[in-house]
Structure 1
Amino acid sequence: MRIIIATIFPDFVKVVKEYGVISQAVKDGKLEIEILNLRDFTQDKHKTVDDYPYGGGPGMVMKPEPFYRLYDYVVEKYGKPFVVMTSPQGERFDNKIAMFLSKKENLLILCGRYEGVDERVMKIVDLELSIGDYVLSGGELAAMVICDAVSRFVPGVVEEESLRQDSFFNNLLDHPHYTRPAIFREMKVPEVLLSGNHEEIELYRLSESLKRTAIKRPDLFLKHEFTEKDKQALILLIRGLDKKC
């Protein structure tokens, strides 16, 4: 998969491909991340990407020409990409959308700035995405979040077993995690995790995942489709609660 990010601050964005599992995936050739400077697609000596809004009002608006020239460049070089525009008006980005985008061969993310982007740019946009109900100085941080989340679903970037245990997979939050020491300031690691019984450990973790989701994100819990294993985990959870009563 290839992810292309269009921005006026390429040095700010490039950090997304320089650390962690994404960096390793890029080195291994499993993922390609290209950062394009929108100013390179202007035609004036000042490399102007914004102008005053028609109709008046505060701030500046990003011009359509650089976006279209950049888009044409990408199409000529790689073929037609799937285009995402970062925007507070967009659809809320989530795990399901990240999985959907990870199946695209070429993903182009456009980063807006200032008061917004000329509306005519939307003609080349396939999907507007927001990472939350708040306003950022620009779309770069949102683009990096989208890039990171999407990259995790590209085959070979993250182990499949690890993905299945991530929060939001199958509408469940992740289970609690523990490491050494077994006792820290009188707080003990649950005995089942020290038992070596992998079947019991798996059931315990699933029950804790279900409990966390029901308490912290009941909206996700209600969407979850319960398997036979889930029902066994719920029985374990209810029995544990019954013992405490």
Structure 2
Amino acid sequence: MTSSEGPWRATILTLFPDMFPGPLGVSLAGKALASGLWALESRDIRASATDRHRSVDDTPAGGGPGMVLRADVLAAAIDAADAGPSGPKDRPRLLMSPRGRPLTQSRVIELAAGPGPLIVCGRFEGIDERVIAARGLEEVSIGDYVLSGGEVAAMVLVDACVRLLPGVMGRLASGTEESFSEGLLEYPQYTRPQEFEGRTIPEILTSGDHAKVAAWRQAEAEALTRARRPDLWAIKARQKRPKSTTDG
């Protein structure tokens, strides 16, 4: 989404700004970035350090392994990022964290419709809890595993948002007829050649009967979701269940 203040913008706070744009600089996202459909700002957290060693971390209170990003340094970095014209005050402030709420397609759609987020990439053992509360950081996870830092996770989130921005994908339907758009996994896709190593394209897809093709795709999407993502299927089943008179 673009506004009077400019294109959708992602601001990344990281100790490794040279990691960006990385994969975001190629393919669809890279072309859209070069053409001005969205903007990327990568800021070094270390620039907000105040001592001569540019220290950004310290030992955990209470003891334990590793180091923790300091609240004062990170808060200063967030404030500096939001002080200029590229930092609208109403944009989401996200922290990529394995303890965050799982990133979903519905949340991606919300973020893509806004001005663009400020994303904090943690390192070490994490960041001081006080800055999370003081700066209203929303913790977001891309899966139940731990990465070396939040940068790769931030790239995943940004890529998921950018592809939904107007003008990025060739066809609007490309962003609507896919996994999770209707609470289901996407149906199988086929293209030429007609036969590949003895396997053929299902006849119904070449029949020209659009109603039958749509019904086949719906049935395949439901079957895949039941088999691979029973958690999603349970939600879909509850949504389809008729409301009883006792539900109020």
Contact 1:4 1:33 in 2 (8 A): yes
Partner SS state of residue 20, structure 2? helix
Shift in Å at residue 219 of structure 1? 2.4
- The reply to whether residue 84 of structure 1 matches residue 94 of structure 2 is yes
- The reply to whether residue 95 of structure 1 matches residue 102 of structure 2 is no
Shift in Å at residue 44 of structure 1? 2.7
Equivalent in the alignment of 1:138: 149
- Corresponding residue to 2:163 among 140, 144, 152: 152
Partner SS state of residue 170, structure 1? coil
- Choose 217-226 or 80-89, whichever is displaced more: 217-226
Partner SS state of residue 219, structure 1? helix
Shift in Å at residue 200 of structure 1? 2.8
Distance in structure 2 (CA, Å) of the matches to 1:175 and 1:64: 46
Shift in Å at residue 109 of structure 1? 0.6
Equivalent in the alignment of 2:205: 193
- The reply to whether residue 49 of structure 1 matches residue 56 of structure 2 is yes
Equivalent in the alignment of 1:124: 135
- Corresponding residue to 1:29 among 30, 33, 36: 36
Structure 1 residues 197-223: Cα deviation after superposition (integer angstroms, max 9, x where no partner): 333323322221122112222322232
- Choose 59-68 or 37-46, whichever is displaced more: 37-46
Partner SS state of residue 35, structure 1? strand
Shift in Å at residue 60 of structure 1? 0.8
Shift in Å at residue 17 of structure 1? 2.1
Structure 1 residues 137-177: Cα deviation after superposition (integer angstroms, max 9, x where no partner): 11111111111112223233233201111111110111111
Give the unaligned 5+ runs of structure 1: 227-245
Equivalent in the alignment of 1:211: 223
Under a length normalisation based on structure 2, what TM-score does the superposition of the two structures give?
Answer: 0.84
Equivalent in the alignment of 2:245: none
Q: What number of residue pairs does the alignment pair up?
A: 226
Distance in structure 1 (CA, Å) of the matches to 2:13 and 2:184: 33
Identity %: 38
Structure 1 residues 10 and 55: alpha-carbon distance in aligned structure 2, compared to 1, 3 A threshold: same
Distance in structure 2 (CA, Å) of the matches to 1:88 and 1:219: 20
Matches for 1:220-239 after TM superposition, within 5 Å: 220-224=232-236, 225=239
- Corresponding residue to 2:16 among 9, 24, 27: 9
What letter corresponds to residue 132 of structure 1 in structure 2? G
- Corresponding residue to 2:187 among 171, 175, 183: 175
Shift in Å at residue 90 of structure 1? 1.0
Contact 1:112 1:139 in 2 (8 A): yes
What letter corresponds to residue 218 of structure 1 in structure 2? P
Pairwise CA RMSD: 1.8
Shift in Å at residue 47 of structure 1? 2.1
Under a length normalisation based on structure 1, what TM-score does the superposition of the two structures give?
Answer: 0.85
- Choose 178-187 or 36-45, whichever is displaced more: 36-45
Equivalent in the alignment of 1:67: 74
- Choose 103-112 or 209-218, whichever is displaced more: 209-218
What letter corresponds to residue 126 of structure 2 in structure 1? G
Contact 2:24 2:155 in 1 (8 A): no
Partner SS state of residue 128, structure 1? strand
Structure with the largest fraction of helix: 1
